[in-house]
Structure 1
Amino acid sequence: MLTLTCPIKTPLHRIPVGPKLLALAVGSVALFQLQNLWLIGAVMAAVAGLHLAFGWAFARHAAAMLRPLWPFLLILGIWHGWTGEWVTGAALAGKMLVAVALANLVTMTSRLEDMITLVERLAAPLSRFGLSPRVLAVAMALVIRFTPVLMEKTTQLGHAWRARSARRANWRIMLPVSLMALDDADHVAEAIRARGGL
């Protein structure tokens, strides 16, 4: 399993995860109120500058984590190009990039254990309704850890497809990807049960 915490240490690593998540929530709400394309561009430049302030290697690592967004940006571009609403499409794409970049920044500079502890603490009132905060926290941790693993396996499957076919990989790889995800989930469930379960 992988962790998304960046090994390149920054001053943000020393800030507790609670204030960072609060700042992310407030910043995301404020970001999606913006409609002016120039303001959104300025925010994008500020976020890029923040990443670059921690060094080129850190910024490159953060940029690599944004790569999975390209299909969504492509769909936005095609749709808004077809409808003729380029400004709306560009604004949405910019806000999506900034929101994901900021979320990645929090994840890259926070230990997963700290995030699990915080989620457990915040979800404690839900135990009155029968929902275990521990189960919720572990589920969140598994999503964070296994998303890059599944993406890497999907990339490998795409490479295998291209090695055997002149055609591009398409929807046909979704079934094997789904089966791999189910197989991984089964193994993780067995490992959790072997350690006493939740």
Structure 2
Amino acid sequence: MLSLYRAGYSPWHRLAAGPKALLLIVIVLGVSLLPVSWPGPAVAAAIAVGCYAVPGIGLRELRRQLVAVRWAIGVTAAGQLVFLGPGPAAANTTRVGAALVISALLALTTPVGALLDALERGLKPLDHLGVDRQRVALLLIVTITMLPVLARLAHDVREAQRARGAPPGLRHFAMPFLVVALKHADALGDALTARGVR
């Protein structure tokens, strides 16, 4: 499975997967609950910058994550602008963007195996209900990582097209991206089958 994990020695990397996930959930919820009025959006942006400003992560990574989710931010901004107007649209879009990049820290700084182990431990109370927590944890990990993985695949396709001098546009991008995404889905299916997941 394609992983977003980047090895490092930052405080985020050193924090155990379970406590890190809980801390990031609390931070994302806090950002989401900030008021729309000033200084709520500025605080949301400052929290996102602070989360990435620690040694070993860096603001360059923050910029990469913002570029990766720019379409989600753009769609959010457009919808908010139509229904709420410029001020609330800017505030809500800032909060959504901050929440997205902060939540990406979990996948960036935690190996997939550690995430699976932490989720399985967290889901242990469901054993009494007959729930297969290994499958649930695997499903959650695949879901969490799928959007960033597709964003990375889209970036790779665009870079390859630029290198070959292909003209930009959705018509030239859609088919190669679909092929790459389906290949990734096949590889993921094969990996799951090899692990005995049916």
Q: Distance in 1 between matches of 2:136 and 2:97?
A: 27
Residues 24 and 33 of structure 1: CA distance in aligned 2, closer, same or farther (over 3 Å)? same
User: Hey, what does 1:41 align to over in structure 2?
Assistant: 42
Question: Residue 195 of structure 1: CA displacement?
Answer: 4.7
Structure 1: stretches of 5+ with no match in the other structure: none
Match in the other structure for 2:85:
85
- Matching of residue 74 in structure 1 with residue 74 in structure 2: yes
Residues in 2 aligned to 1:50 and 1:191: alpha-carbon distance in whole angstroms: 33
Alignment deviations for residues 145-170 of structure 1 (CA, whole Å, 9 cap, x no partner): 5655533432344456665764x422
More deviation, 111-120/79-88: 79-88
Cα offset for 1:41? 0.3
| Cα distance in 2 between the residues matched to 1:78 and 1:53 | 32
Which whole-Å deviations, capped at 9, do the CAs of 1:39-59 have from their partners, x for residues lacking one? 32023124313422326x632
Q: Is the 8 A contact 2:107 2:145 kept in 1?
A: no
Cα deviation, residue 182, structure 1: 3.1
Give me the CA root mean square deviation: 3.1
2:160 matches 1:181: no
CA–CA distance in structure 1, aligned partners of residues 115 and 15 of structure 2: 12
- What is residue 123 of structure 1 aligned with on the other side? 123
Q: Distance in 1 between matches of 2:33 and 2:146?
A: 32
Which position in structure 1 is the counterpart of 2:139? 139
State the identity as a percent: 22
Residue identity matched to 2:153? K
Indicate conservation of the 8 Å contact 2:45/2:98, yes or no: yes
C-alpha change, 1:195 and 1:32, in structure 2 (3 Å) is closer
Aligned pairs for 1:24-35 within 5 A: 24-35=24-35
**Offset of residue 113 of structure 1:** 1.7
Counterpart secondary structure, 2:53: helix
Contact 1:4-1:144 at 8 Å conserved across structures:
no
| Structure 2, unaligned runs of 5 or more | none
Mapped to 2, the partners of 1:46 and 1:184 lie a distance apart of: 34
In the alignment, is the contact (CA less than 8 A) between 2:41 and 2:94 conserved in 1?
Answer: yes
Deviation string 1:119-143 (CA, Å, 9 cap, x unpaired) is 1122234455554211222233444
- Whole-angstrom distance in 2 between the partners of 1:79 and 1:147: 20
Residue identity matched to 2:42: G
Larger radius of gyration: 1
Question: TM-score scaled by structure 2?
Answer: 0.77
Q: Which residue of 2 aligns with 1:4?
A: 4
Structure 1 distance, partners of 2:171, 2:129, is 40
Structure-2 residue corresponding to 1:62: 62
Distance 1:46 1:187 in 2: 37
Q: Which amino acid aligns with 2:117?
A: T
Normalized against structure 1, the TM-score is what?
A: 0.77
2:151 partner letter:
M
Structure 1 residue aligned with 2:14: 14
